[in-house]
Amino acid sequence: MAANRSEPLLLVVDVQNDFTAGGSLAVSDGEAVIPVINRVARHFAHVVLTQDWHPVGHISFASSHPGRMPFDRIDMPYGPQTLWPDHCVQGTPGAAFHPDLDIPHAQLIIRKGYQPDVDSYSTFFAADRTTPTGLAGYLHERGIKKLMLAGLATDFCVAWSAIDARRLGFEVDVLEEGCRGIDIGGSLEKAWRDMAAAGVARLPPGSTVPAA
Ligand code: VGL
Ligand code: ZN
């Protein structure tokens, strides 16, 4: 059966062990998004999960740049790059989905950040802004027009994905209660501003989540 064109899709961003308590790049209160996302996901017939998925020695790791520390910023050929602790290394427990994430009906897992020399916050394009993940084609082929985003981290992978989705012509809601940010030097407020400017709708706590 073809997808009903009016049906929205929930995009669950990077709810992985390394971004939650005990992980190498734990987002403050990150695990709080899990019960929210599990509950909301039941109202969506269509769910896609994303997974940050870096090779050992990835360019975004501070450990790959002698003399640099996590959270330093450097210039890469594709633009500025924040350096991170090693995280979400392919096949490691830190890269696995959090065990409490409970969305058995999720239909696709998009992995990103697997090119050794390019980071990818957005789940649509790598940081070079040209290498696609294939998600846009998948959504177009399935007739999806509207996305709801939730996950980690608000100011990096959620924001970049939401803004790219708008650029690609999707309607985009971001569920605030289902997100937590890293917030480096005001990055969280800036992300909400940039998302608003791109036409992303922010659903604050207490919003009625539209059911599919
Ligand atoms: C993320 C920093 C580095 C994210 C991924 O999922 O927001 N942040 N890699
Ligand atoms: Zn990463």
194-203 tens-digit pLDDT: 999 999 999 9
Token duo for residue 123? 């789940």
Q: Is the pLDDT of residue 131 over 60?
A: yes
Element housing 163 (H / E) = helix 159-167
Task: Kindly give the distance from the C-alpha atom of residue 80 to the centroid of ligand 2, in angstroms, as a whole number.
Answer: 14
Given a contact cutoff of 8 angstroms between Cβ atoms, the answer to whether 4 and 44 are in contact is no
Mean pLDDT of 165-178: 98
Mean pLDDT of 31-57: 98
- Asked whether this complex has an ipTM greater than 0.90, the answer is yes
Catalytic one of 112, 155, 164, 173: 112
Task: Kindly give the distance from the C-alpha atom of residue 185 to the centroid of ligand 2, in angstroms, as a whole number.
Answer: 18
Residue nearest to atom 2 of ligand 1 (CA): 156
Q: Which residues, other chains included, contact 140 with Cβ-Cβ below 8 Å and sequence gap of 6+?
A: none
User: How would residue 206 be classed by pLDDT, with cut points 50, 70 and 90?
Assistant: confident
Given a contact cutoff of 8 angstroms between Cβ atoms, the answer to whether 180 and 32 are in contact is yes
Given a contact cutoff of 8 angstroms between Cβ atoms, the answer to whether 179 and 160 are in contact is no
Token duo for residue 19? 């971004």
Q: Which residues line ligand 1 (CB under 6 A)?
A: 14, 52, 84, 121, 152-153, 156-157
Task: Kindly give the distance from the C-alpha atom of residue 205 to the centroid of ligand 1, in angstroms, as a whole number.
Answer: 23
Strands 46-52 and 9-13 turn out to be parallel
To test ligand 1's pocket by mutation, which of 12, 49, 52 has the most ligand atoms within 8 angstroms of CB? 52
Element housing 138 (H / E) = helix 135-141
Closest CA to 188 of 137, 153, 144: 153
Closest CA to 167 of 108, 125, 133, 128: 125
State the residue for tokens 């058995």.
104
Q: Is the pLDDT of residue 4 over 90?
A: no
Q: What is the mean pLDDT of the chain?
A: 95
User: How would residue 3 be classed by pLDDT, with cut points 50, 70 and 90?
Assistant: very low
Give yes or no: 112 in active site: yes
Which ligand places an atom closest to the C-alpha of 59? 2
**The pTM of the whole model exceeds 0.90:** yes
User: How would residue 5 be classed by pLDDT, with cut points 50, 70 and 90?
Assistant: low
Q: What is the pLDDT of residue 212?
A: 43
Residue nearest to atom 6 of ligand 1 (CA): 157
Give yes or no: 88 in active site: no
**How many C-beta neighbours within 10 Å does residue 212 have?**
17
Task: Kindly give the distance from the C-alpha atom of residue 114 to the centroid of ligand 1, in angstroms, as a whole number.
Answer: 13
CA 54 to ligand 1: nearest atom: 9
